[in-house]
Amino acid sequence: MASGNLLVTNTFNLNDILGNGKIYKVPQFQRDYSWTQDNWEDLWNDITLAHENKSAHYMGSVVLQSTIGKEYLIIDGQQRFTTLSIIILAIINTIQQLVEDGVDASANHERVEILMRQYIGQKEASSLRYSSKLFLNENNDGFYQNRLLHFRDPINEKKLSDSEKLMWQANIFFKQKINNLSNSKNGEALASFLNNTIGEQMMFIQITVQDELNAYTVFETLNSRGVELTSTDLLKNFLFSLVAKSETDLKQVKSQWKKIIDTVGLKDFPVFLRYFLMATRKQITKEYLFKEIKSFIKDGQDVFDLLEKLEDYAYYYVALGNSDDELWNNDKENRTAISILKTLRVTQWKSLAMVAAKKLDPNDFKRFLQSIISISYRYNVIAKLQTNEMEKVYSKSAINLYNTDLGKITDILNDLKALYVSDEDFKLHFLSKQFNTGNSTDKRLVRYTLYKIEAQLSGSNYDFETDNGTIEHILPESYPEKWHQDFTEEEYERNVYLIGNLSILEASKNNKEAADHSFEEKKQVYSTSRYTITKNISDIDEWKSQNIKHRQANLAKIATSIWKIQY
């Protein structure tokens, strides 16, 4: 990471970080303490390993934002800072207990005073209370300052918030670990363990930035655990800060923010925000989300306007990813379309679909979804073209629709013409299309493909997801010896997964009657199948490479008529 006026990177141990009168604050609205026993176990194992090997252990990067003097905001690293502070307090509390038990009381009392000043904070002359080096967020700081820092048990543990319970449980967990140390009754050894192992050997890459915009950029370029969660926190902090002067406004913004996060999900929020911005402003990569928000959110009213739109579009975003969502309860066709789009594993269309769901009338939206299926099947599944252009086209169309009072499906389809693979190109790509049926994704795609073709041939709309038909490899997938005279090993590998070699067959017929038998034997089974796509195979005299190629060409023609948009 390059250093400069806006970004400084150094490697420090914990003693360096907590020394020289530095103060660290978790931003007021950052997420609460959330580490659990798995995290505590991992950290304790790292500490004990460093102690045994007498070697440094790297704790990863922390991102700090310098504010005034020696004060820093902890943009990324609060969970580690808080947990290490709890460990430190547990060690100091253990030494304090030795004082109370009369074990080397004078020396251990002095150790407690020194360690508290070194790691926790100075004692105020008037109140004789410690002024902390670390301040947590608005929900956790009271418990940290009033209980943990002063070794006071909670009045009623059951009434603690979830994050306070975790902090208290962490305190108990680490006290037990310390009491299990071989030298837990030796104040000098415990102080040495804190100073030399935790203080000296726990190493951090400290990244210091000047403002939250640079902090966000750092997050998006660091490939580390929890990046998306922390970048969401950073955005939340920014939005909350613009209304923080009014308790009423802040309360309303918090409530609305919670609704959005509860709807979309914390982890998925950056993805949703990106689609929203692509639908309403411009195509954008995730690295520039925060910068874009800061470019047009300037005051409290802007915050309210943004959150209102996000809450509105969050409803559609979630529904577009879930065929069981209540939005589709009364529309089986749309519910099926959403399920198919999930099978196609394409997401770029969602920026446009969010706006379309809000602006188009029900019939036009239904046609919209069917058109997206045709485009996605041609572009992504069969032609397998690059998705960069797709995202750009969808974003442009979404913005056009967003800025129009009355949306028209014809205008949208015209916008999307660049993504519509022509019939000629589609057939050409289809002729060589293979599906690896050992792959779960390909297996779903080939079932979808074959069942759609079956519906076109027979008019029977079996559900490709629930129907008990199985994928039949006419040239068997196992390449049995009886097929060697018709297919060399090289021909087998070229043909076995071609869609021209695949069909649908009842499970009972596939497993027992067809299995790995010869083509002549299989034809007898196919002739009794309820699936037209399979029954038709029984009219073919032999099964060789040219037959597979011929059938694939016929399927290509049918597919062209199925996945088609009428302009």
Read off the pLDDT of residues 36-81 as tens digits, 9 standing for 90 and up: 999 999 999 999 999 998 888 888 888 899 888 889 999 888 999 9
Residue 513 confidence (pLDDT):
63
Residue 216 confidence (pLDDT):
65
Q: Where residue 495 falls among pLDDT bands split at 50, 70, 90?
A: very high
**8 or 429, higher pLDDT:** 429
Residue 58 confidence (pLDDT):
87
Region 282-296 average pLDDT: 88
Report the alpha-carbon distance of residue 566 to residue 370 in Å, rounded: 11
C-beta separation of 26 from 233 below 8 A: no
Residue 222 confidence (pLDDT):
57
Q: Is the pLDDT of residue 227 over 80?
A: no
The b/e string for 156-179 (b: 16+ C-beta within 10 A; e otherwise) is eeeebeebbbbbbbbbebbbebbe
Region 301-311 average pLDDT: 97
Q: Is the pLDDT of residue 100 over 80?
A: yes
Residue 221 confidence (pLDDT):
60
Residue 3 confidence (pLDDT):
42
Tokens of 465: 């997801």
Q: Where residue 1 falls among pLDDT bands split at 50, 70, 90?
A: very low
Distances (CA, A) of 359 to 214, 277, 326, 353, 542: 37, 17, 19, 10, 54
Whole-number average pLDDT of the chain: 91
Among 87, 58, 66, 61, which residue's Cα sits nearest to residue 76?
A: 61
Specify the range with the lowest mean pLDDT, choosing from 102-106, 189-193, 238-242, 326-330. 238-242
Tokens of 383: 């032609």
CB count within 10 Å of CB 147 equals 18
Say what percent of the chain tops pLDDT 70: 94
Report the alpha-carbon distance of residue 467 to residue 507 in Å, rounded: 10
326-368 residue pLDDT tens: 999 989 999 999 999 999 999 999 999 999 999 999 999 999 9
C-beta separation of 387 from 348 below 8 A: yes
Q: Is the pLDDT of residue 432 over 60?
A: yes
Q: pTM of the full predicted structure?
A: 0.76
Among 259, 237, 198, which residue's Cα sits nearest to residue 14?
A: 198
Say what percent of the chain tops pLDDT 90: 76
Residue 26 confidence (pLDDT):
92
Q: To 10 degrees, what angle do helices 247-264 and 269-280 make?
A: 100
Question: Any idea of the CA torsion for 150, 155, 158, 164, to the nearest 10 degrees?
Answer: -20
- Residue 38, judged by CB atoms within 10 A of its CB (0-12, 13-18, 19+), counts as exposed
Tokens of 221: 């370029």
- Bridge-based pairing of strands 202-209 and 469-473 is unpaired
Q: Is 3 left (phi over 0), alpha (psi -120 to 50) or beta?
A: beta
Specify the range with the lowest mean pLDDT, choosing from 221-230, 300-309, 412-421. 221-230
Residue 130 confidence (pLDDT):
65
395-421 residue pLDDT tens: 999 999 999 988 899 999 999 999 999
Tokens of 133: 């080096």
Report the alpha-carbon distance of residue 488 to residue 497 in Å, rounded: 15
Q: Where residue 503 falls among pLDDT bands split at 50, 70, 90?
A: very high
Among 459, 452, 469, 465, which residue's Cα sits nearest to residue 555?
A: 452
For residue 327, the 8-state DSSP code is: G
